[in-house]
Amino acid sequence: MSAKIKYTDEPLGKTQVVPDFLPSPVELAFREEGVKVTLALSKKSIEFFKSEATKHRTQYQRMIRRLLDAYVDAQALTVRSKGRGDKRRAP
């Protein structure tokens, strides 16, 4: 890294302005609004999530929330691909 860089005033040639495609800081800091609920879960489920959360150094409630969000996202894709979701029959 001892070589010196020599800068010149050469023309750059044809340039093109690239539109800003990066998200704004506000978009990066976005947090979904949470809704507090009371939910009774089985002891084995809570023990599982607490154990996994400890292994991965995260919060067990966050893991459960992400699991539910992933389920909702997958169901939304299924409903959209099948058409209207209001035609479902009860099992």
Residue 40, pLDDT score: 97
Contact predicate 85/79, CB 8 Å: yes
Rounded Cα distance between 36 and 46, Å, is 17
Instruction: Locate the domains of the chain by residue range.
Output: 40-79
- Where would I find the beta strands (DSSP E) of the chain? none
Longest pairwise C-alpha distance within the chain: 75
Q: pLDDT tens string for the chain (91 positions)? A: 678 888 888 888 888 888 888 877 777 777 788 899 999 999 999 999 999 999 999 999 999 999 999 999 899 887 777 765 555 555 5
Q: Tens of pLDDT along 29-43?
A: 777 888 999 999 999
The model's pTM: 0.56
Nearest to 31 by CA among 73, 77, 82, 69: 69
